[in-house]
Amino acid sequence: MLVGHSFGTFTVRLFASTYPSDVVGMVLVDPIHPSEWFEMTEERARKLAGAIRFSRYGALLARLGVARLVSALVRLGAPGLARTSVSPLTGGTMAEAERRIAPLAKLPLELRLIIAALWTQPKFFDAIVGQAEALPQSAAQVAATGDYRDIPLMVLSATGSSPSQMKEHEALAQLSSQGEHVVASKSGH
C-alpha cells in the first residue's frame, strides 16, 4: 500500500506506474497536479526558487547548530525566547518557518519529537532542496505515466480545494477502475 501527500504523490504515482505488480493500493492525499510544476507560471517559479533558498538557509542554520537551539528552546516551553533569540540570525525567516510548521501542534507529542529531531539535521533541508530542484522533471515524468488499471486508488481532497483542484482529483481517481474520490471534511492541505 502506498500513501503520498502533496508533492509526495508524485513518488507514489511514478512507483505505481513503474512497478504495478508490487502495489496493492494507493492513497493520494490532496495531490498536486503535475502540470502546475512542469508548465510553471512565473509566480510558481518564484515560489519554487524561494523554497529552495529557504531550505538552503535551513541547512546552513542546522549545520551551525541554530536549529538545535531553536528546537531545545521550544521543547523547554520557550517558543517566544526561541523566536527572539534567532530572529537576527534568520533574517525574518523564523516567522515563515512557523507558518509552514504550525500544523505540527496538531500531532501527538511523540511524532512532534521525531519530526523536531529531523528538522535539526542538515540532511533534512538538503533533501528538500533536491526534491524542489527536481520538481519540474518529476512532474513531467508523472504526467507521462498512464492509468493505474485495477490498482485500488483513493484520492482525498482537502475541504478548501478549488473547483479546478476537485476536478483534477476526480479525474485522477478515474485513472483506476477501482478509483474513488473523497473530500475529507474539515481538512486543509
Question: Is pLDDT above 80 for 83?
Answer: no
Tell which residue, 93, 8, 102, has the closest CA to residue 51.
93
Helices of type H across the chain: 8-18, 35-38, 42-63, 66-75, 79-90, 93-101, 109-119, 122-143, 163-173
Q: What is the mean pLDDT of residues 114-140?
A: 91
Q: Could you identify the residue written with the cell 523536531? A: 116
Q: How many Cβ atoms from other residues are within 10 Å of residue 171's Cβ?
A: 13
- Tens of pLDDT, residue by residue over 137-189, are 999 999 999 899 999 999 999 998 999 999 999 999 999 999 999 999 988 88
pLDDT 10s digits, 1-52? 999 999 999 999 999 999 999 999 999 999 999 988 888 899 999 989 988 9
Confidence at residue 110, expressed as pLDDT on a 0 to 100 scale: 86
Q: Which residues of 49-71 are buried (b: 16+ CB within 10 A; e: fewer)?
A: eebbebbebbbebbeeebbbbbb
CA dihedral over 101, 105, 108, 109, signed as positive or negative? positive
Whether the per-residue pLDDT at 87 is higher than 60: the answer is yes
Question: What integer pLDDT is reported at residue 77 of this predicted model?
Answer: 74
Residue 98 has pLDDT above 80, yes or no: no
Query: What whole-number distance in Å separates Cα of residue 67 and Cα of residue 122?
Result: 9
Q: Which residue has the higher pLDDT, 84 or 52?
A: 52
